[in-house]
Amino acid sequence: MQIGTAAELGVSPEQVQNFYRDVWSRPIALSDPNFYAWQFINSPRDMGLDSCVIAFDEKIGQVAGAMGVTPRNFNLGQTTLRGGELTTWATGEAYRNKGAGAKILKHIMDNFDILIGMGITNDALPIYLRSGFKYVREIPRFVKVLDFEKIEAFCETDAMGMRLAKKWSGVSSKNYDVSVATPDDIESAYAQMTKQYNLFARDSVNMAWRYDAHPNFKYMQFCVRPIGSKHKSIVAVRFHQTDQGFTVLHIMDVFGDQSAIGPARCFIENFGAENGAHVIDFYCTSSAIYAEFVANNWFSTTNDPQFCFPHLFSPLELRHPQTTSLIYWAKDHLVDMADISKLYITKQDADLDRPVPATAT
């Protein structure tokens, strides 16, 4: 059994894509050549080489297991480390409980300084924990209701939740200047973030790959400033028209000068309302960032049980908790990583915003 990246082992992307298609119980984006290439071959640190780590059975020329890894620099205390975003760990049926999965994980740990993954299954969690990873059961997620009547049928809510959803549906008065984000805007806001947060690289090159080059979704990036100020924040969003007939505005990123986070939240509310969104959602681990949203009547999916909103939309799924989990590991800096208030992870990281292929008929 060989362990390494697909590029190192000379295994074609098509073989890995077919492996994911065959072993995954539902249609999966990693079986799509365009999405796979974007994620594991075309990211800024891939340099055109397939970074997916696999176990390969040389005797029969077959992929035995795989874990998607997207190399991405990670800023920790203003030090740049080798970071990796973990996605979709799978082992072929004939190789389960034989150590292939654990060998893949060890290989990855030997080659990175920081690792983060989301959506951890009950089967995978014990292996992560035995390997020294730490677990966050619920990534904080926040929901702004703009039109309760449009989404009411798809929520679970009590009388208090209904009253609050209607009462909190208004948007704040505009207190910002906004423009389309330029590379210089992004570099400035990112440099500000590295002074106080731990986060994956969000320089202009990474942002262009993550948003502009995405093969499936159309994202928008804005620069928001307090009126009359040079301080700035970057906002990245996309609209999602659900099969159920309501529109979600997904917030992918809000980062930059702390004084510009409030105006960014205000812009997002107004932008969503003006463009037909019925609800807005935002995943964010850093309390210093999401405090602005909590204080301005966004529901917390973990702390406001009177209002429950779906976590998945294709197909619609309302689960408890209405968010996903996170694991993290650091080779030499676990204490710093464990300060979650400084950890800035959002829906744009570790493939949390992945397309769901249509089921074949």
User: Is residue 7 in some structural domain?
Assistant: yes
First to last CA, the chain: 37
CB atoms within 10 A of CB 208: 14
What amino acid is encoded at 111 in this protein? N
Q: Which residue has the tokens 């989301």?
A: 118
Question: Does 351 reside within a domain?
Answer: no
Is residue 346, in this structure, part of any structural domain at all?
Answer: no
Answer yes or no: are the C-beta atoms of 311 and 319 closer than 8 Å. yes
Burial profile 209-246: b = 16 or more Cβ within 10 angstroms, e = fewer = bbbeebeeeebebbbbbbeeeebbbbbbbbbbebeeeb
Q: Which is it for strands 316-317 and 312-313: parallel, antiparallel or unpaired?
A: antiparallel
Mean pLDDT of 52-58: 97
Total domains, the chain: 2
pLDDT digit string (tens) for 305-319?
A: 999 999 999 889 998
> What pLDDT does 169 receive?
96
What DSSP state is assigned to residue 173?
P
Same-domain pairing of 92 and 209? no
pLDDT at 357: 84
Examine the domain organization and report whether 172 and 124 are in the same domain. Answer: no
Residues 207 and 122 in one domain: no
Tokens, residue 288: 């210093």
Q: What is the mean pLDDT of residues 192-220?
A: 97
Mean pLDDT, all residues of the chain = 95
Do 178 and 198 lie in one domain? The reply is: yes
Q: Is residue 327 part of a domain?
A: no
- How confident is residue 359, by pLDDT bands cut at 50, 70 and 90? very low
Q: Are residues 151 and 280 in the same domain?
A: yes
Indicate which CATH number applies to the domain containing 164.
Answer: 3.40.630.30
- Give yes or no for a contact between 259 and 223, defined as CB atoms under 8 angstroms apart: no
Percent of the chain topping pLDDT 90: 93
- Measured in residues, the chain has a length of 361
Residues 270 and 317 in one domain: yes
Question: 165 and 114, same structural domain?
Answer: no
Task: Please tell me whether residues 76 and 13 are part of one structural domain.
Answer: yes
Q: What is the pLDDT of residues 212-234, one digit of tens each?
A: 999 999 999 999 999 999 999 99
Q: Decide: pTM greater than 0.85.
A: yes
pLDDT of residue 26: 86
In a domain, 248, yes or no: yes
**pLDDT level of residue 97 (50, 70, 90 thresholds):** confident
For the chain, state the CA radius of gyration.
21
User: Confidence class of residue 351 from pLDDT cuts 50, 70 and 90?
Assistant: confident
Cis amide prior to 315 (ω within 30 degrees): yes
Question: Is residue 347 included in any domain, yes or no?
Answer: no
Q: What is the DSSP letter of 137?
A: S
Same domain, 62 and 105: yes
